């Protein structure tokens, strides 16, 4: 469904992506994991057209996205929920959703969309007249999801949806991702929380300094010793309660 080949991109003179290739098939949940600064967000920005690729190509449903503006790419059903949620803080919750439904020209389409978003995220309905900037982080993430739903996604690109959220909200995010999938929406999930991401995904890609360094089924990446050591905090994460000499010996500094 989405196919990225040899993507090279960056900011100014700095090159951040050095030939990224990845595939997302229809109905799949694919995750892209990697350390902070690896280039995950940049990859998504290049796919959604916010950043122009210097080399390489991006195809969605077989159609090249080269040179398309972000609004046209979104109109194809490739919807990007950017890092940091990026809701419109001074608009109300409902106004945010309406902007998400920009392509819904008819009032009935808009109403159906709002209903679906409120059904999925009842908290948004309770707060529909509240200014979005005053929502909690978790509520803002739900709003970002609801707003993206309004844009009628066929493929959703989610950039770090759990960043900075309380554990309870992380569970909510995971539930929302599963619900999107159950609806038949294809998902490309970027996460630093690799445990969670690989738990949700069918397949995964691991990114390091602008390159894909590993890929495979989520289950096998979860077992991969390198991936475990670098991204799953093997040892340190699995035995957090042992603080003392033995832990220090068993783990790298």
Partner 1 sequence: MNMTALLEVTVGGVAVGCVYSLLALGYSMIIRASGIIHFAQGEVMMLGSMCGLSALWVAPSLHPALVLLVGMLAGGALAGAMELLVYRTLRRRGVPLVSIITATVGFSIFLMNAARLGWGSEPLRYPDMFRGAVEVSGIRISPQLLWVAASGFVIMVALQIFLSKTRPGLAMQAVAQDPDAAQLMGVNLSRSMAATFAVAGAMAGAAGVMLGSLFFSFFEMGFITGLKAFVAATLGGLGSIGGAMLGGILFGLIETFGAVFISSAYKDAIGMMLLIAILLVLPQGLAGLWRRLR
Binding site for Mg ion (CB under 5 A): 41, 83
13 lines the binding site for ligand ADP (CB under 6 A): no
36 lines the binding site for ligand ADP (CB under 6 A): yes
**If contact means CB under 5 to 8 A according to the sort of partner, which of Mg ion, partner 1, ligand ADP, none does residue 100 touch?**
partner 1
How far apart CA 178 and CA 187 sit, in angstroms, is 10
**If contact means CB under 5 to 8 A according to the sort of partner, which of Mg ion, ligand ADP, partner 1, none does residue 14 touch?**
ligand ADP
Cβ proximity to Mg ion, 40 vs 120, nearer residue: 40
Cβ proximity to ligand ADP, 37 vs 133, nearer residue: 37
- CB atoms < 10 A from the CB of 154, how many? 16
**If contact means CB under 5 to 8 A according to the sort of partner, which of ligand ADP, partner 1, Mg ion, none does residue 75 touch?**
partner 1
C-beta separation of 79 from 2 below 8 A: no
**Given phi > 0 = left and psi -120 to 50 = alpha, else beta, which region is 113?**
alpha
Phi and psi (nearest 5°) for 85?
70, -50
Q: Helix H segments across 77-217? A: 93-100, 107-120, 122-126, 137-150, 167-182, 194-200
Can you tell me which of 4, 9, 16, 144 binds ligand ADP, judged by CB under 6 A? 16
Is the Cα dihedral 228, 232, 233, 239 positive or negative? negative
User: How many whole angstroms from its chain centre is CA 131?
Assistant: 24
Closest approach of partner 1 to the CB of residue 27, in Å: 23
Can you tell me which of 41, 48, 162, 186 binds ligand ADP, judged by CB under 6 A? 41
Closest approach of ligand ADP to the CB of residue 83, in Å: 7
78 lines the binding site for ligand ADP (CB under 6 A): no
- Exposed/middle/buried for residue 13 (C-beta within 10 Å: 0-12, 13-18, 19+): exposed
- CB atoms < 10 A from the CB of 217, how many? 13
Give residue for tokens 């996205």: 65
Residues that bind partner 1 (CB under 8 A): 48-50, 69-71, 74-75, 79-82, 86-91, 95, 98-100, 102-103, 105, 147, 150-151
**If contact means CB under 5 to 8 A according to the sort of partner, which of ligand ADP, Mg ion, partner 1, none does residue 28 touch?**
none
Closest approach of ligand ADP to the CB of residue 173, in Å: 17
Query: Do the bridges between strand 78-81 and strand 155-159 make them parallel or antiparallel, or are there none, so unpaired?
Result: parallel
List contacts with ligand ADP (CB under 6 A).
Answer: 11, 14, 16, 34, 36-42
């Amino acid at each position: 469904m989405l196919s990225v080949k040899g993507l090279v991109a960056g900011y100014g003179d700095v090159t951040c992506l050095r030939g990224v290739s990845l595939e997302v098939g229809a109905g799949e949940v694919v995750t892209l994991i990697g350390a902070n600064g690896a280039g995950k967000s940049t990859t998504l920005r290049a796919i959604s057209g916010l950043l122009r690729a210097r080399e390489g190509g991006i195809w969605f449903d077989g159609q090249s996205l080269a040179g398309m503006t972000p609004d046209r790419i979104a109109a194809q059903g490739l919807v990007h929920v950017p890092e940091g949620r990026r809701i419109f803080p001074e608009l109300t919750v409902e106004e945010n959703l309406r902007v998400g439904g920009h392509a819904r020209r008819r009032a009935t389409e808009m109403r159906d969309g709002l209903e679906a978003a409120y059904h999925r995220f009842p908290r948004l309905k309770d707060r529909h007249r509240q200014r979005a900037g005053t929502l909690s982080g978790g509520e803002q993430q739900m709003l970002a999801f609801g707003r993206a739903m309004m844009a009628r996604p066929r493929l959703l690109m989610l950039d770090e949806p759990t960043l900075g959220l309380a554990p309870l909200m992380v569970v909510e995010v995971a539930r929302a991702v599963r619900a999107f999938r159950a609806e038949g929406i294809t998902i490309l999930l970027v996460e630093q929380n690799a445990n969670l991401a690989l738990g949700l995904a069918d397949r995964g890609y691991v990114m390091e300094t602008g390159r894909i360094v590993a890929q495979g089924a989520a289950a096998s990446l979860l077992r991969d010793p390198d991936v475990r050591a670098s991204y799953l905090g093997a040892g340190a994460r699995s035995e957090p309660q042992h603080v003392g000499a033995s832990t220090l010996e068993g783990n790298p500094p």
